[in-house]
Structures are given as C-alpha cells and as structure tokens.
Amino acid sequence: MATPRRLLPSISLLAAFEAVCRTGSTLAAARDLDLTQGAVSRLIQNLEIQLGVTLFLRDRRRLVPTDHALAYARDVVKALDLISRGSMRVRSNTGGGTLSLAILPTFGTRWLAPRLSRFLAEHPGITINLGTRVKPFDFEEEGFDAAIHFGADTWSQAGAAKLFDEQLIATCAPGFLAAHPLSQPNDLIGQPLLQLETRPGAWASWFAHHGVGGPVPQGMLFDQFAPMIQATIHGLGVALLPEFLAKPELADGRLVAAWGEPVQGDGSYFLVWPSVGAWYPPLQAFKEWLLAEAADPDRIEYLPR
C-alpha cells in the first residue's frame, strides 16, 4: 500500500527542519542551506501544516523544538543520511558499484590497506569507501554494506565469514627486556601490562594458559592497537599483540617476544554483512577475494615503518 503523500515531506522541508534542529536557529540554518531566513521559516511552517503537528514553539525570534520535533529529528537525520549515501553510490558508480566497508582501525591500516590495490586491480569498476568502527553497530542505521569484526559469530541479523583466528604474543621493547629479565610467566605479574579496551580478559586468559592464577595487575589502557604498539616500542610495558599486527616490529627488532610462544586469543576476525544485502555484487566479489587473501599466508604484506 502506498504511503500517504502527507507523510512524505519533500527533501527541502526535511533539510530545513534538520538544519534548524541542528543549528538552533532559522538564521544559522539559512546560512547553512544558503537560503534566506524567511525562506527557512516558511519551509518549517509548511512542514508543520503538512504533518498537522506543531514542531516548534515560537519564543520571540527563537524556535524551540518540541519533544515531538526532537524525536522526529532523529528519524529525519537517519533518512537524510541514507539518501546521501545512496546518492554517493550513484555518483561514484563507474560500472561495478560501491562497497561501504567498516574496518577495525589497526587491522585496516596494517593488514587490509596494503592488499586493497590487488582487489581494485581485479575489480576496476568497484569503488570502496572505508570507515572505522571498533564495536558492533546497526547496519540499517549506519548504512555500511559490510564490516570487519573481531569476536564471535554473534552479529545480529547478519551473515558472517571467518577470516582467521587471533594469535597473541607477549611483546616488549628490547631495552625493557634487558632491564627486566623474564624467565617464566610469573615474572610478568610485577611488570606494567598494557591493556586493550576491547580485550579486557586477554591477559587473564594468557596467564591461565600458562598455569598462573590470581588477579591480573592493571596497566595503561588503550582503545586501539596502534598507540599500544607505539607505547610498547617506547618501553612503557609489556603488551599482548596479535602476531600478524606486530610482525613488522618483531622483524626489524623494535619489539621482541617477552616470554613464550603465541597463544590463541578468545576471538576471531570475521567479515560480516546485513542479511538483506547478501546479494549485492560488490560484496560478493569482495568476500570471495578477502577469503582468498586470508587463507594464503604467503601473500601477507605490511606497510613500511
């Protein structure tokens, strides 16, 4: 059944409404939209007439959004963002389509970025847009076609393909190891242990794997691997790092293994996508290529230091 016309305001009405809510005044909205203040006021009035709802309270020269307006604004912002993303796809589509991909920051820069030229060479008609996200999100709200996810295959209403497991290695700077000799896992208990926000139980699992119980001392907390790697290089402590991410620093000697061999972490890397978008040809092409890259360790490359 078709949606009643009165429930489908024009883009100009919605853009004016969103701008007034965002900027807080018709004057600022007019500047933002390159319109006159009177034109913005008329657009707001027309929207209220079309919906049959008062969206703003007039307080002298100010428009104060009602509770209905604030709730409506959240939906309008999402709708305008989806339309904008769709328009971007159309403009950048050179024959193969556009893939909007959410990536984990350090994974994206260290593992994915050096490989993308191969994918683009094999699929010259496909454009890839990248955005960073560190936690699961709502595909419908964000507008991404797929995401690189770490953890378990538990993403809601999404398909998933496992790339590989995470192997964690305890690392430190050579100078740190010289100043703090480590001959057994117990020796790490008294050292500053660097923590990653999204791996709160990593050190506890590592110690349990080596038969060491008890509370794990807390250290500096990081939200991404990249700054944690730099902190480790500069001797601020011992870090549990994915072996594939730390490989360049281990190879050139900026980092060394503090103690022990790599230990399998508690999660894996996945490519995930919304179930309703599984058919999308650029996604299908990217998934096939990415799985082949992840399965071939001989093709692993890294950005230079």
Residues 6+ apart with CB under 8 A from 77: 18
- Please give the Cα distance from 23 to 302 (Å, whole number): 44
Q: What pLDDT does residue 78 have?
A: 84
* List of domains in the chain: 5-90 (1.10.10.10), 96-156+268-299 (3.40.190.10), 165-267 (3.40.190.10)
Residue owning tokens 């020269």:
61
Please write down the long-range contacts of 41-50, taking CB distance under 8 Å and 24 or more positions apart. 43/12, 43/13, 43/16, 43/17, 44/16, 44/17, 44/20, 46/13, 47/9, 47/13, 47/14, 47/16, 47/17, 50/6, 50/9, 50/13
What phi-psi label fits residue 53: left (phi over 0), alpha (psi between -120 and 50 degrees) or beta? beta
Segments in the chain below pLDDT 70: 1-6, 60-61, 85-96, 297-305
Query: In 3D, which of 168, 160, 235 has the Cα closest to residue 196?
Result: 168
| Cβ neighbours of 175 (radius 10 Å) | 12
pTM higher than the cut 0.85: no
Cα radius of gyration (the chain): 25
